A and B are shown apart, each in its own frame.
Chain A
Amino acid sequence: MSTPATRRKLELGRVGESVKRVDAVPKVTGEFAYSSDLFAAGMLWGHTLRSPHAHARILSIDISEAVGLAGVHAVLTHDDVPGDKRYGLEFPDQPVLAFDRVRYFGEPVALVAAEHPEQARRAAAAIKVEYEPLELVVDPELAADQPAIHPQHWTQGHGYRDDPRPNVVRDMRIERGDPDARADVSVEGYYELGIQDQAFLGPESGLAVPDGEGGVDIYVATQWLHVDRDQVAPCLNLSREQVRIHLAGVGGAFGGREDLSMQLHAAMLALHTNRPVKMVYNREESFFGHVHRHPGRIWAEHRANRDGKLVCVRMRILLDGGAYASSSTAVTSNAASFAVGPYAIENALIESTCVYTNNPPCGAMRGFGAVQTCFAAEAQMDKLAAELGMDPVELRLRNALASGDELPTGQKITGSMPVEEVIRRAAAIPVPDPEELPRDPIRLPGGAGNTTRGDGVQRGVGFAVGFKNIGYSEGFDDYTAARVRLFADTDGDLVAEIYCAAAEVGQGVTNVILQTARTELELENVMLAPGTTGEVGSAGSASASRMTWMATGAVQAACRAVRDELDRRGGGLASGDEIDLERIYRHPRTGPLEPETGQITTERAHVSFAAAAMRVVVEVDVDLGLTRVVWIGTAQDVGTAVNPQAVYGQIEGGTAQGLGLALMEEIQTRDGLITNASFTDYLIPTALDMPPVVAELVEHPEPEAPFGVKGVGEPPTVVSTAAVMSAMRAATGRELNRVPVKPDDIVFSGS
């Protein structure tokens, strides 16, 4: 008998070290299998017929011609949905396939499976749907006085403030201290944001494979495997065990994969044809295939004393949720909760409303409500600084939130909240000197377009601070499961296999899990099993900047349980023996907000908070309205950086997305119809649009988090739109109260 296997010395990959991504090599060689790369023998291609109307009654659907076409195996409508006709991330208000009426442009109406994708497209085009247009609800200001898009009040009666008006998704208020408190000075402003798209590069796609016993395996790019399963199974009239969701390679997510896209549709086609069915959206379809960032209209008033101390903030926020609820109720609340920004304040009145319209449905996107209000609140802080004749950085320092302070919801911050340090560190990064003229046009606004030699170009430097919550809030039972299987390999070495359904969406959670396990087990041989609903409990969603914290907590707990068991067995395992334990981790409990006043009802409504500050330099050609972002310097409160290289990557990437919202990204609609569903017309930052980003990590371990981690994905996106716009105002002297800012606004708008 061989000696029992024991732990081998750990050489690399602990928490806190920059470790190369384990999936980097297959990704650079092209071997990594994304959800659009999957293949199965006998596979058919699925395609979705979508509504050409934003709001219409469906009078009839005639599939007779489509079913007869060559290569077509199935044409399905709402009549073919085997179970519940509706689903939804939080409220079941969304039809699997439209029945009675369509509520937005691009809503799925029918499905086709065929041998070639082109055959499927042609068959879909042969389906005849008769529509009768209905009154459009497309102006969010008018929505609450128009006929209800959803006669059932899906989101009412869930503990939110009652609002019987038609089309109101959630209406909430946070009232703190004396909302009428007066002060020496007051500044007012009105701000608007367009619809931003996540624009992940990997289109919605996946493969559904019938298991021959009535169940189905779905391989898909998603952010939360188990919640997909829980929505899919009842609509297919199957048990949860009969639906297995497997994580296929994810080409970016940013909130846009929280809701279902093709999962149910591919599964319906696969079960109907008893063949594997693959669906891949093209880019145009992707713009209809997921929810977007809520566009918003925000009115704000800030009152402060001469010394710069904020006395009272009043804000009204109106969000357009589009046709279905998705996560709108939580976005509405987040927008309100973080409306004031990371500043201590005693008096506030924040009113936040989200309405249903026939515009594109909105839901989660990186920053989740805090992006919208940060843009408004930071513009207000600049205005206030100007009114007071005070340095904008100084004004922010004077009001900086700190541990021990109370938020407008009455929640006392008990964890780390180094806002002052974040501001000081960002402000201390040396700003590059203005570049001389003449210079290569590539380094001027307009770039290779060669539109200027530098005349009309003005430089501006801006600053902003932002913060948001980490983890799910308001009483949501938020947990993550992890399972560790420890065994001896044939060489007699101990190996740990980790099971955790945390979605690797590109953010690097795989490394976080492996680093945690290596650190806890003091073991080099650690691997992560593919994510699936079959092998382990729910991990919750890769969103709300929560996955690092939650996965770390769960994997740590499971590793410790395994380690204890190993010690109990004398520190070694005989070959053939194994220890296999699953543990569930929960972050500190949160509770709901009081519906009328938005005040906490338990110790806290949010778990933890992370802040970022950013300085931006821009050059603007004020004659042509063209912009070049020259430089960005930022400092971010990250708790403990598990993998510093990956944390810098999140900061840089998150910053780019906020820059995109400030300067170029907007889904355009006319009467609810999207008019720019392509990368030709919906622009995202390119290599020429991104300046150098100098980032500093502010590390103060979060006391209640495993290893002191905080989430890092969202704060850079929250702050960067505001910071870029601060620089734009400084360069142009104009108010620029709408993002994305357009050349016309720079050249013609009021100052």
Chain B
Amino acid sequence: MKIELSVNGERKEADVWPGESLLFTLREKLGLPGSKNACEQGECGSCSVLLDEKLVCSCLVLTAQAQGHEIVTVEGIAEDDRLHRVQEAFVQTGAVQCGFCTPGLIVATVDLLAHRPEPSDDEIREALSGNLCRCTGYQKIFDAVRLAARA
């Protein structure tokens, strides 16, 4: 089936299977592999995207459901050639190791700061608790969020 949607401000069309997830379509059909596939069952947040400005796990959204909607992926976060302040903060604080969790965390942090520009430490931990990271132990991710909030 043919689906039309907006991704990072551009109109896109894709020919998809009825059961295909938005994550698969983004990664394999639209050339946007930035959203990650760590679990494909809604448990890790590595596939996080914004759908009409709402944070969702794209592995749990059928592409068919996204017909006509607006998607922002990690590839659409930077402003022109400049890193977004959240991305810059992740680089500065050493919040990236293998980086497989990073795209999802960038999108989740952008979403958090959009709603709570100055989150408390507990609010940060709660807001990011749906994004698993196996490498960092989260300390530097918290540093990154605090730094981005101050920036």
Contact = CB atoms under 8 A, between A and B. Distances in A.
Contacts of A505: 98
Contact of B96 (A21, A254, A680, A687): A21
A36 B75 CA distance: 17
B126 A688 contact: yes
B132 interface: yes
A33 B92 CA distance: 21
Contacts, number: 182
A39 B125 CA distance: 36
B83 interface: yes
A448 B126 CA distance: 9
9 contacts: A24-B96, A28-B91, A28-B106, A29-B74, A30-B32, A282-B39, A283-B39, A283-B41, A653-B137
B25 interface: no
B46 interface: yes
Given A116-B17, A201-B98, A678-B41, A28 B137 contact: no
Contact of B136 (A29, A118, A652, A678): A652
Given A505-B98, A679-B43, A686-B129, A118 B35 contact: no
Contacts of B135: 252, 506, 649, 653
Counting contact residues on chain A (CB < 8 A from B), the size range is 35 or more
B34 interface: yes
Interface of B: 17, 19, 27-28, 32-41, 43-44, 46, 73-75, 77-78, 83, 87, 90-92, 94, 96-103, 106, 122, 124-126, 128-142
Q: What are the 3 tightest A-B residue pairs by CB atom distance, in nearest-first order? A: A30-B34, A506-B98, A27-B99
A30 B107 CA distance: 11
Contact of B134 (A27, A678, A684): A684
A30 B139 CA distance: 21
B45 to A, nearest CB: 10
Contact of B34 (A29, A508, A685, A690): A29
Contact of B131 (A282, A649, A655, A687): A687
A688 B125 contact: yes
Nearest to A443: B122
A28 B126 contact: no
Q: Mostly helix, strand, loop or mixed at chain A's interface?
A: loop
A656 interface: yes
Contacts of B141: 687
A25 B94 contact: no
A27 B138 contact: no
A116 to B, nearest CB: 7
Interface in A181-239: 198-203
Nearest to B97: A506
A3 B142 CA distance: 50
Contacts of B92: 20
B98 A679 contact: no
Interface in A394-421: none
Q: Mostly helix, strand, loop or mixed at chain B's interface?
A: loop
B91 A24 contact: yes
A23 B125 contact: no
A116 B28 CA distance: 10
Nearest to A34: B100
A692 interface: yes
A690 B126 CA distance: 11
A455 interface: no
Nearest to A693: B139
Nearest to B92: A20
Contacts of A692: 139
Interface string A494-505: 000000000001
A146 interface: no
Contact of A28 (B27, B36, B87): B87
Contacts of B37: 36, 203, 280
A28 B90 contact: yes
Contact of B100 (A20, A251, A282): A251
Contact of B73 (A30, A201, A680): A30
B97 A201 contact: no
Given A200-B98, A443-B122, A653 B136 contact: yes
A251 B98 contact: yes
Interface string A272-305: 0000000010110000000000000000000000
B90 A201 contact: no
Contact of B78 (A27, A29, A508): A29
B131 to A, nearest CB: 7
Pick the most buried of B40, B97, B125, B129: most chain A CB atoms within 10 A of its CB.
Answer: B97
A531 to B, nearest CB: 15
Pick the most buried of B38, B83, B125: most chain A CB atoms within 10 A of its CB.
Answer: B38
Nearest to B90: A28
Given A506-B97, A656-B138, A684-B134, 4 more contacts: A28-B106, A30-B33, A201-B101, A656-B137
A207 to B, nearest CB: 12
A160 interface: no
Given A649-B97, A679-B44, A693-B139, A687 B125 contact: yes
B122 A282 contact: no
A362 interface: no
B99 to A, nearest CB: 3
